[in-house]
Amino acid sequence: MVLEATRSAAEGSLIGVSGDSLVLRVREAYAAYKAFGMLDVSAGVVPTLTVPNLDGTWMMRPVASSALEASGLLSPADLGGRARLEIPKGYGWLAVAAYNGEGYTSRELNRGKNIEGALEVHPLPGTALAPLGVFASFTGGSTGTVRARANRLVGGLVWQGARVRAGAIVAHAWGVRDLGTARALVLSAFVRVEPVDRLYLAARFDHVARDLEGAPSSSVSTVLGSVGYRIASPLEAFVAVSRNVPTRRAEDELPGSDFWDLRVVSRVVF
C-alpha cells in the first residue's frame, strides 16, 4: 500500500475539510503473486506501466513528477489488474494491464475500460551497455461521460545504471481532456548523475504541445536542474530550480504558467 497527502480543497476552492487540511488518500493498494520467479500478477489499485517506469528510471520523483503525469495525459496508478513477465537473462520485461480508467484520483465516469501494454528491451545484457534499454507502451481507452478517446503511444531510450540514470521519450496523445479529436505531443529528456558517493546532480527538459490541431501553437517548455545529497541511507535532501516557458496562447489558457520555481525537498525512505 502507498499513501499520499493532498489538500482537501480542489483547485479554485477556498475551503475544504476543516479549512483546507492535508488528507491521506490511497495511491496504490493491491495484492500480487509471483510465479516461476518471472511472472508477476497484481490486482487492486495498481501502478500503471508507463509513468512508474519513467519515474523509476530517473529516480527523482520527489523533485518533480514526469511530464506525462504533470500534463494529465497518463496516471501513475489506477484500479484494475496487470501482469508483468521478466525476460530471462536480463533482456528486459513485457507487461499488459487493464484499468477502470480516469486514474486513481477520479471516479470512473463511463463503462469503457482502459488497456495498456508496455515493453522494455535491454539488447546487450552482461556487457558494459547492459543499462541501455528501449521502452515502448500503448494505452487505449476513453475518458469522461462522453467516452472521449484517450489513446497514448510512448517510446524512447533509457539508461538505468548505478551512477547514471537517463532517458529520452516522445509521447503522442489522441484525445486530450474531454476532447477526443484533440492531439498532444510530449518530448522529455532527463538525466541523474552520482559523480561521488551521496551527491546527486539532475536535469530535465520537457516540451508539451497541448494542441497539435490549433493555431497558434499552445505549448509549454520546462527546464529543471537539481542538486541532492544523501545525508544518511534513508534520508535525502534536494534543491531544485525550474523555469516554465509557455507560448502566448498557452499562457492565456493557463494563467500563471510563466514562472520560476525554487524548491527544497527532503525524502525519508522507510
Which pairing describes strands 114-121 and 151-160: parallel, antiparallel, or unpaired? unpaired
**Range from 109-113, 132-136, 246-250, 255-259 carrying the lowest mean pLDDT:** 109-113
Mean pLDDT of the chain, nearest integer: 93
Contacts 24+ apart (CB under 8 A), 127-133: 130/90, 131/158, 131/159, 131/160, 131/161, 131/164, 132/157, 132/158, 132/159, 133/92, 133/157, 133/158, 133/159, 133/160
**Are 67 and 43 a contacting pair, CB within 8 Å?**
no
Nearest residue to 6 (alpha-carbon basis) of 62, 20, 15: 20
Q: Which three cell numbers stand for residue 247?
A: 507560448
**Are 141 and 151 a contacting pair, CB within 8 Å?**
yes
Q: Which three cell numbers stand for residue 259?
A: 514562472
- Of the pLDDT bands very low, low, confident and very high (cuts 50, 70, 90), residue 116 is very high
Q: What is the mean pLDDT of residues 68-94?
A: 96
State the Cα angle at 69 between 180 and 59, rounded to 5°.
Answer: 155
Nearest residue to 209 (alpha-carbon basis) of 198, 197, 217: 217
Distance (Å, whole) CA 244 – CA 239: 17
Say yes or no to pLDDT of 153 above 80.
yes
Q: What is the pLDDT of residue 180?
A: 85
- Of the pLDDT bands very low, low, confident and very high (cuts 50, 70, 90), residue 246 is very high
134 burial via Cβ count (<10 Å: 0-12, 13-18, 19+): middle
Per-residue HEC secondary structure of the chain comes to CEEEEEECCCCCCCCECCECCEEEEEEEEEEEEEECCCEEEEEEEEECCCHHHHHHHHCCCCCCCCHHHHCCCCCCEEEEEEEEEEEHHHCEEEEEEEECCCCCCCCCCCCCCEEEEEEEECCCCCCCCCCEEEEEEEEECEECCCCEECEEEEEEEEEECCCEEEEEEEEEEEEECCEEEEEEEEEEEEEEECCCCCEEEEEEEEEEEEECCCCCCEEEEEEEEEEEEEEECCEEEEEEEEEEEECHHHHHHCCCCCEEEEEEEEEECC
219 burial via Cβ count (<10 Å: 0-12, 13-18, 19+): buried
Q: What is the mean pLDDT of residues 70-97?
A: 96
Percent of the chain, pLDDT > 90? 78
Q: What is the mean pLDDT of residues 34-43?
A: 95
Q: Which three cell numbers stand for residue 7?
A: 489538500
Q: What is the pLDDT of residue 213?
A: 82
**Range from 124-133, 140-149, 226-235 carrying the lowest mean pLDDT:** 140-149
